[in-house]
Chain A
Amino acid sequence: MSQPEISAAAAGYARCGVCESLVRWRDMAPDSEGSCARCGSVVRLRRPNSLARAWALVISAYVMYVPANLFAMTAISQLGTTESDTIFGGVKELFAAGWYPVAVLIFIASITVPLGKLLCLTGLLISVQRRSSWHPRQRTVLYRVVEQVGRWSMLDVFVLTLLIALVQLGNLMTVEVGRAGTFFASVVVLTILAAQSFDPRLIWDVMEEEK
């Protein structure tokens, strides 16, 4: 290979996150702030306080995850009787009704994705803190998947919004969002923010130092 395998940081450059130019970073502290000579944006070598921020957001998301699953997500009133369902209960009901494709979809979006995302982020954070050199490429790919898949958890919330808009027939039938709705949405937002705070370059920094 004609190109040397070296990171920009080791070569004395920081990457501008806005215009992607390389900014000279010789004789600068790793956590200091520079400015991009070409576009004027603030430049940092790595995302600031990446691990602490990501941990704080991941832990908050775990905390919110509990009420999101204990409280009712939906309340459907029909002719005077109200039926409440948690997220898991809703999925079970869909399976019982035989709507397998929809049930699987909601199960993936509302249960697998948020929980899987939290567990993956936790694993990534621990691996970076333990300065692991285990499969860095696979961990980077995992991070990219986690970052892109998180938005799909909003599926159930959007379905509820549409149901609320459509099913408003006075005393006949109404749909309402239960208390879990806000908690669940906050899990989604917190995990998206956590993924954005984590800096995948930290996975590779350890490899560089070992050389």
Chain B
Amino acid sequence: MTDLDIDPKDWVACESCDLMVRLPELRPREEAECARCGQVLERSQPDSLRRTLALSIASLLLFVVAQTTVFMSFELDGLVQDAWILTGIQSLFLDGKWPLASLIFFTTVAAPLLWILSLLYIVVPLRAGRVPPGIASAMRFCTLAKNWSMLEVFLLGVLVTYIKLAGVAKLGIGPGALSFAALMLVSTLAGLSFDTRLVWSLVWNRSEARP
């Protein structure tokens, strides 16, 4: 074993290949990549907390609108069918396909909501100069919820459905679908502006300053 005389606070290990890297000071919007495997190690985000806060609040509002207003409508021979996101999930449940229904509910409703809420839980107190209790669990939860949230895939699904049905019947795009598209965009931006290294450096500055 090599004995390195280093201060572990200055170094990171690449999550993909475990290479020890000393991160350089990044200018805004610069990226640090692992020299050995190409993994992005850090992306410098200007004004991270303020942007994440604004974008998560916007996401939360868009989420509520996307879930509560009519998503799409379908008209065939004078019969009109309005659909919400939950309509399809509900019919799957009633049809006895609850494992499938729960998975769809989880990836398109629960995980995105939990992700936005955990971002707010972390960012709101940090903006006010306090560290939220259970920050480590909150950060872990945030990553987990983000990984299982599949808004972008669902949105592509909306597009495919539209193309498939457009020839068969009259289709209407409701406010739900529009705000869902906006939600996908805004929440992706919120995720991009969230700088985990900044969060941890704030947490440690706070806890080390405390007597």
- Residues of chain A lying within 8 A (CB to CB) of residue B1: 10-12, 26
- Residues of chain A lying within 8 A (CB to CB) of residue B65: none
- Residues of chain B lying within 8 A (CB to CB) of residue A38: 200, 204
Q: Is there an interface contact between B196 and A15, defined as CB atoms closer than 8 Å? A: no
Closest to A153 in B: B153
Q: Does A30 contact B (CB under 8 A)?
A: no
- Residues of chain B lying within 8 A (CB to CB) of residue A181: 97, 100
The digit string for A67-96, where 1 denotes a CB below 8 A from any CB of B, is 000000000000000000000000000000
Q: Considering the complex, which residues of chain A in the window 162-184 have a beta carbon less than 8 Å from any beta carbon of chain B?
A: 162-170, 172-173, 176-177, 181-182
20 sampled A-B residue pairs with Cβ under 8 A: A3-B35, A5-B36, A10-B1, A13-B8, A15-B18, A19-B200, A20-B13, A99-B163, A137-B37, A141-B37, A154-B153, A159-B164, A164-B87, A165-B87, A166-B72, A166-B73, A167-B81, A169-B74, A185-B103, A204-B19
Q: Does A131 contact B (CB under 8 A)?
A: no
Q: Is there an interface contact between A3 and B97, defined as CB atoms closer than 8 Å? A: no
Closest to B103 in A: A185
CA distance A28 to B194 in the complex (A): 34
Q: Given A4-B20, A5-B36, A11-B2, list of 20 further CB < 8 A pairs?
A: A7-B18, A15-B15, A19-B136, A23-B8, A102-B160, A105-B160, A136-B17, A157-B103, A158-B104, A158-B108, A159-B157, A161-B157, A165-B85, A165-B87, A166-B74, A167-B81, A177-B95, A185-B99, A189-B103, A201-B18
Cβ-neighbour of B21 out of A3, A17, A151, A172 (below 8 A):
A3
Q: Does A6 contact B (CB under 8 A)?
A: yes
Closest to A101 in B: B163
- Residues of chain B lying within 8 A (CB to CB) of residue A200: 16-17, 37
- Residues of chain A lying within 8 A (CB to CB) of residue B196: 20
Closest to B164 in A: A102
What distance in Å separates the Cβ of A143 from its nearest Cβ neighbour in chain B?
A: 8
Cβ-neighbour of B13 out of A7, A24, A39, A158 (below 8 A):
A7
- Residues of chain A lying within 8 A (CB to CB) of residue B39: 140, 144
The digit string for A1-44, where 1 denotes a CB below 8 A from any CB of B, is 10111111111110101111111101000000000101111000
Interface residues on A, range: 35 or more
Given A102-B163, A137-B37, A167-B81: A20 touches B197 (CB 8 Å cut-off): yes
Cβ-neighbour of A204 out of B11, B18, B22, B91 (below 8 A):
B18
- Residues of chain B lying within 8 A (CB to CB) of residue A164: 87-88, 91-92
- Residues of chain B lying within 8 A (CB to CB) of residue A160: 88
Given A152-B153, A158-B104: A41 touches B140 (CB 8 Å cut-off): yes
Q: Does B120 contact A (CB under 8 A)?
A: no
CA distance A200 to B39 in the complex (A): 11
The digit string for A123-140, where 1 denotes a CB below 8 A from any CB of B, is 000000000000011001
What distance in Å separates the Cβ of B69 from its nearest Cβ neighbour in chain A?
A: 14
Q: Is there an interface contact between A18 and B161, defined as CB atoms closer than 8 Å? A: no
Q: Is there an interface contact between B97 and A177, defined as CB atoms closer than 8 Å? A: yes
The digit string for B81-106, where 1 denotes a CB below 8 A from any CB of A, is 10111011101100101011001100
Q: Does A52 contact B (CB under 8 A)?
A: no
Q: Is there an interface contact between B38 and A141, defined as CB atoms closer than 8 Å? A: yes
Q: Is there an interface contact between B79 and A172, defined as CB atoms closer than 8 Å? A: yes
What 8 pairs across the A-B complex have the smallest Cβ distances? A158-B157, A165-B88, A8-B13, A161-B88, A165-B83, A165-B87, A22-B8, A15-B13
What distance in Å separates the Cβ of B162 from its nearest Cβ neighbour in chain A?
A: 9
What distance in Å separates the Cβ of A96 from its nearest Cβ neighbour in chain B?
A: 14
Cβ-neighbour of B107 out of A17, A24, A39, A154 (below 8 A):
A154
